[in-house]
Structure formats: C-alpha cells, structure tokens
Amino acid sequence: MGLFSLTQELAIDLGTANTLIMHNGKVVVDEPSIVAVNIKTGSLMAIGHKARLMDGKTNPNIRTIRPLKDGVIADFEATELMLRGFIKKVNAARGMFAPSLKMMICIPSGSTNVEIRAVRDSAQHAGGREIYLVFEPMAAALGAGLDVEAPEGNLIIDIGGGTSEIACISLGGIVCSESINVAGDVFTADIQNYIRQQHGVKIGERTAEEIKCAIGAAVPELDNEPDDYIFTGSNMLTSQPQTVTLTYSEIAYALDKSLVKLDNALMKVLEEMPPELYSDVVKNGVYLAGGGALIKGLDKRLTKKSGLPVHIAEDPLRAIARGTGIALKNIGNFSFLMGGDK
C-alpha cells in the first residue's frame, strides 16, 4: 500500500548517466538519464531505456537529450520532463501522482548554490512538496555501510558518469574532498578516441560504453582476464566495414591518462587529511562506489598508488541510491541533510 499513501517518499540518485529511484527500500526505477523529444512540438517521446535505444539513430524531427552534464543540470526543462516521467512510472499502478511527494536527492559535493537551486526547482516542478538534499559522497558512504556519524575517518570514492567525488567523512560532515570531471563519460570518450587513432575505426558512444562495461580495465595485467571484445565499425578512410578485436590491456592504456587524474585527486585528499583521520583510513581502508568502481583492477591500481587497502562497496552501481534511501528514512537523525522546503 506504500504507493497509495498520502505522502510518498522517494530517494532519487539523479545521475549524469543513470537515474535510480528507491521507494520503501526497493529500487523501482533504474534507467539511463536521457529523454527523447519531438523538436516540432516539444513533446516528450520517450525516457530512459526507450530513449537510449533512439540515441544516435534519430531523424531530424527527434532529438535525444542527456539533461545532466558533469553531475549538474544542463537542461532544466528536459530534467523536469525526465523526473515527471520516472515518477509517473513509479505510480503506474495508480495512474496519477501521489498527493504529496517527499524527495531525497543526492547532489555532487562541489555544487554551487545556483546548481543546488536548479535541482530543487526541477524536483518541485516535477511534483515534489518536501525536498531534501544530500551530498553524493555522504550518500555513497551510507550505501557502503559506513557509520558517517562516528568520530572516525572514512574515505569514500564515488565514480559516477559525470564526476568523481573523493571525500573524507567524520562526525556527519565532509572534512576534506575533491571533485573532478573525470568519470564514466570521460572514460567512454577515451575509448572512442583510442579506437579512432589506433585502429582507424569510427564508433559511437553506445558501442564505446559496451566496450567499457565488457573489458574496461585500470591495469594492464589482471588475474582474471576477460575475453577479447570483437566488433565491426566503419573504417574512417574507406568507409568499408572493419572488424576489430580489442584486449583489456588496450583499454587500460586508453584510460590511463584519465585515471592518472583520479590518482592525483586521491593523493591530494590524503595530503589534506588530518593525521588522526589518516590513521583511521589506514585501518579501515578506502571504499569505492558508483559505476566506475566496476572498472576491472581499479582497486588494485589505487592500492598501489596510495598504499591503502581499497574495498569495493556491495553493488556499487546502487550504493548511492541505497544511501539516499537510508538518509530519507533517518531525516531526523542526520544533521548533514539540506532542505525540507515546502
């Protein structure tokens, strides 16, 4: 009966690549953050998976839009359309919006006041009546099972689609953090550029994304080697079909330049960390969350760089959404939450 209550509580991970919505502790929406609109009428044609299938295959009358860029809203109207559509999916059984929506939305820790206001406004226009915000590293730490209120240092790395957030958390606050625009989208672009330069083959974003998920690696040598990835693309010189076989070692080379920036951001946070908290992190280790945590060997690479044990959170893709849901259920217990405006 949760969907039919007077006040409906939704925990939303509004991500650059994917949007997840949790209701009553369960993920009810897990779809790509993309919409397809009719250019002539401005009407919504598809959202999520259906819009993703249209991406790169549209005619001049249809446009696919990714409303978020680098973790923040780039297209206000498209974000509102997307949120409304996803919320409608949650309430499909009822066929209408719940009378009152209470939302908890996670945002990047480096968000400006303008960006925070944009998220809040989009949520309000999508039907939200009571809106709370939580920073992504805090949500990731909660989703990884860490006690963020304890007088103890916890280091979390959240690698999403648009940004990577590295934060040291203690006593319910972020002590020091670093947010960089090196994440899933950049890794996908790196793979596209590598294949164009080294193999002379043109590939789309979707194919590069599939390659990243299948054989994306952070180190050139893995204990469990994935099978080579074979695909056919268009030769840039002849425009004839060309079959390419990729190894995970090639992808590790393609991603190395971007991963170096992630290494440096981690070391910068470690340099800024107070000594007492540093000793806690040495004992507890570093936790990886977000889709980027699934890059093979990334934990091994970061351990070698920092000398610290690196753990991958359980189900890292959903860790942020899970943590946002925990924050929503404990609004009165956490002092780090923002909002509640009606």
pLDDT in tens, 144-189: 999 999 999 999 999 999 899 999 999 999 999 999 999 999 999 9
Does residue 16 sit in the same domain as residue 86?
yes
Does residue 164 sit in the same domain as residue 286?
yes
Does residue 194 sit in the same domain as residue 239?
yes
Q: Is 9 contained in some domain?
A: yes
Does residue 238 sit in the same domain as residue 331?
no
Residue written as tokens 């993309």?
Answer: 34
Does residue 175 sit in the same domain as residue 191?
no
Does residue 220 sit in the same domain as residue 333?
no
% of the chain at pLDDT higher than 70 = 95
CA quadruple 245, 249, 254, 259: dihedral positive or negative?
A: positive
For 158, phi then psi, to 5°, come to -110, 110
Does residue 114 sit in the same domain as residue 83?
yes
Secondary structure letter of residue 277 according to DSSP: H
Residue 245 structure tokens: 């076989």
Q: Model confidence at 3, in pLDDT bands (50, 70, 90)?
A: very low
Exposed, middle or buried: residue 255 (CB in 10 Å: 0-12, 13-18, 19+)?
buried
Q: Residue 88 is part of which domain span?
A: 2-32+72-139+320-341
Mean pLDDT across the chain, nearest whole number? Answer: 90
Does residue 92 sit in the same domain as residue 230?
no
- pLDDT per residue as tens digits for the range 54-104: 988 888 899 999 998 887 888 888 888 898 888 888 876 445 555 578 999
Does residue 163 sit in the same domain as residue 309?
yes
Does residue 238 sit in the same domain as residue 287?
no
pLDDT score of 40: 86
pLDDT at residue 7 above 90? no
Q: Which residue has the higher pLDDT, 1 or 45?
A: 45
How many domains does the chain contain in total? Answer: 3
